[in-house]
Amino acid sequence: MSRAATTSPRGRTGLGLTLTAIVASVSAIAMVGLGLRDRVPQNLSIYGPLIVVGFAAVHVAIRKVARNADPVLFPTAALLSGLGLAMIFRLPARMGGRPGELAFEQATWLGLGLALVVATLIVIRDHRRLDAYTYTLGLGGLVLLLLPIVPGLGKSVNGARLWVELGPLSFQPAELGKVLIVVFLASYLSAKRELLQFGTLKVGPLRLPHPKHLGPLGVAWGASLAVLFLERDMGASLLYFAIFVVMLWVATGRAGYLVLGLVLFAAGAWLGYQAFEHVQTRIDVWLQALDPEKVPLQGYGQLAQGQFAMATGGLVGSGLGRGLPDLIPFVATDFIFAAFGEELGLLGTTGLLLVYLVLIGRGLRAAIEAQDDFGKLLAVGLTAAVGLQAFVIAGGVTRLIPLTGVTLPFVSYGGSSLVSNFIILGLLIRVSAGPWAQRRKATTDG
């Protein structure tokens, strides 16, 4: 471990928290093996070094190229990804399969994600440089968002057309598109902040900006509707539009935009409900999932099994490797939160949510401490992307809201989601550290 990684107060804090994440992650994998087969799994010799070396290397890299970064951001994300790997190591690829079938793939994506955190910090030495590519990044995000509808490329899974297949490779381009759209919104809103804040057009009790200033933002809203109607994915549409409304509200400070956003969201949700049978089914499942007569039907069993699993877990859970979460369809992706509920209980899931709250809180702190409007809005948008996605999946599994099918950030199985979330993490770390060149000069002069 280098001297720079340990001498400063932030370095010591980051090091201590990173070591905690390493110990918790490796211990969780070992406990899963003990719970499943009463012995430490042999694969720990593969996953253990990945976690130890990977997490430690990223910590050292952060201390080298982003010395003043928030010391809590990376360790919290590392803890989430490590616990996610442990649970995925415990889960089969399909109902009736053997545990551990997905773990190697997830470990590979985890290694790539850790490398991308470092690459993001090295390539983007000053987050303000992204502000110069407003429309280029916005167009790129829109293209990635709508790429699955291209004939011959897109692939439908469970009624939603989110996947792109290029030979043996399958991925969700919208995950990276989400990051680019957040950067676009941060750049556009920081440039048009005053024009959007002081409206000149009166519509009833509301004062809105001139329509020409809302044009690009209308495109963002239209893209979220396109996701709903062309790709038939309610979860992604809800997530993108919610990020858009949050960033618009933060940029202007006007509650009227929240009201307008809720109205537009309600209109889009109603249209989606009327247009698509699978959206109607999800609403019906949400309302009647525990009806004994309907549980055996397709769509109802997944949510019911998730509810039964969490109820079985009780306060402290059955223990890692001791439950039966493999009875839940798509448990490694949509319902991994329910698996934690069964094996770690209410205390475990509460702890998991508290880790997300820490991550969200530190992301918002980075926004508050940023010296430029673009950096503030970028940090808010990236934090909202992680926080809203965690809320949507946890709320869906617990039946607080209808199930939408998005993944739990850093935890669920899936390369596209994991990689994009680590890129988000890298950008948040960069914003929290400030421009690298200035920080380095100030450190040298001091």
The model carries a pTM of: 0.89
| Partners of 208 in the β-ladder | 201
Q: How far apart are CA 104 and CA 93, in angstroms?
A: 11
Instruction: Output the pLDDT for position 413.
Output: 92
**pLDDT tens across 387-441, in order?**
999 998 999 888 888 877 778 999 999 888 999 999 999 999 999 998 654 444 4
Least confident of 9-18, 118-127, 274-283, 301-310: 274-283
Among the ranges 92-101, 238-247, 251-260, 390-399, which has the highest mean pLDDT value? 390-399
Average pLDDT over residues 254-269: 76
Higher pLDDT, residue 123 or 151: 123
**16/395 Cα distance (integer angstroms):** 32
Residue 285 in any domain: the answer is yes
Is pLDDT above 90 for 444?
A: no
Report the number of distinct structural domains present in the chain.
Answer: 1
Cβ–Cβ contacts within 10 Å for residue 316, how many? Answer: 12
Q: What is the pLDDT of residue 158?
A: 61
pLDDT value, residue 201: 63
Q: Single out the residue of 69, 60, 176, 70 nearest to residue 118, CA to CA.
A: 60
pLDDT band at residue 26 using 50, 70 and 90 as cut-offs: very high
Is pLDDT of 287 > 50?
yes
| Rounded alpha-carbon distances, angstroms, from residue 328 to 304, 350, 398 | 9, 21, 14
C-alpha closest to that of 320 among 115, 34, 78:
34
What's the whole-number mean pLDDT along residues 256-282? Answer: 75
Interaxial angle between packed helices 277-288 and 255-275, expressed in degrees from 0 to 180 and rounded to the nearest 10: 110
Checking phi first, is residue 151 left (phi over 0); if not, alpha (psi -120 to 50) or beta?
A: beta
Work out the average pLDDT over 148-162: 70
Neighbours of 417 (CB within 10 A): 24
Mean pLDDT of 337-341: 95
Q: What is the dihedral of CA 128, 77, 140, 191, to 10 degrees?
A: -30
Q: What is the pLDDT averaged over residues 331-347? A: 93
Asked if residue 438 belongs to a domain, the reply is yes
Helix (H) or strand (E) run with residue 268 in it = helix 255-275
Question: Residue 217's pLDDT is what?
Answer: 63
Q: Report the distance separating Cα 431 and Cα 366, nearest Å.
A: 7
What confidence tens digit (pLDDT) does each residue in 88-102 have? 998 886 666 677 778
The verdict on residue 362 lying in a domain is yes
Q: In this predicted model, which residue has the larger pLDDT, 358 or 149?
A: 358
What is the SS3 assignment for 111-146? HHHHHHHHHHHHHCCCHHHHHHHHHHHHHHHHHHHH
For residue 394, give the nearest of 361, 433, 349 by alpha carbon: 349
Instruction: Name the residue range of residue 157's domain.
Output: 131-445
Residue 222 lies inside a defined structural domain of this protein? yes
Q: Give domain status of residue 89, yes or no.
A: no
Find where tokens 């950096």 sit: 375
Question: Does 32 map to a domain?
Answer: no
pLDDT in tens, 58-83: 999 999 999 899 999 999 999 999 99
| Rg, Å, the chain Cα set | 22
Question: Could you tell me if residue 49 is inside a domain?
Answer: no
In a domain, 174, yes or no: yes
